[in-house]
Amino acid sequence: MSNTMKVRVKNKNGVVDVKVIINHPMENGLRLNPQSGNKIPAHFINQFIILVNGQEALVSRCTGGLSKNPFYGFKLSDMKPNDRITVNWTDNTGQSGSADAVVN
Partner 1 sequence: MLSLSSSLRNRGRIMKILTLIAVTALHAISYPALAETDFNTHPRFDIDPKLGVAGDFSGTYKYWKDTQAIEQFASIQTNSDNEWKMNGKNMDIVEDDFHPGHLAVDEGEKLVNLWEHREAGFKSCLGAGTTTLEGIAANYPMYDAKLGKVLTLEARIEHCAKKVLWQNFKQGSPVNASIALYLKSLSDGLPIQIDVDSGPMKEAYLRGETLFYKRIGQLNFACASCHTPGSIMGNRLRGEVPSTPFGDVSHYPTYRSPVGEVEVLHKRFMRCLKQMRAKPLKPGDPAYVDLEVFYTSMSNGYPIKAPSIR
Q: Is the separation of the CB atoms in 24 and 91 below 8 Å?
A: yes
Residues paired with residue 43 on neighbouring β-strands, in sequence order: 27
Selected range binding partner 1 among 3-11, 34-42, 48-56, 85-93, rule: CB under 8 A? 3-11
Q: Which of residues 21-80 bind partner 1 (CB under 8 A)?
A: 21, 23, 67-69, 71, 73
Secondary-structure breakdown of the chain: helix, strand, coil percentages, each rounded to the nearest 5:
0, 55, 45
Q: Least distance from C-beta 52 to partner 1, angstroms?
A: 20
Contacts of 95 (CB under 8 A, 6+ apart): 2, 3
Q: Least distance from C-beta 12 to partner 1, angstroms?
A: 12
**Given the rule CB under 8 A, which residues bind partner 1?**
1, 4-6, 8, 19, 21, 23, 67-69, 71, 73
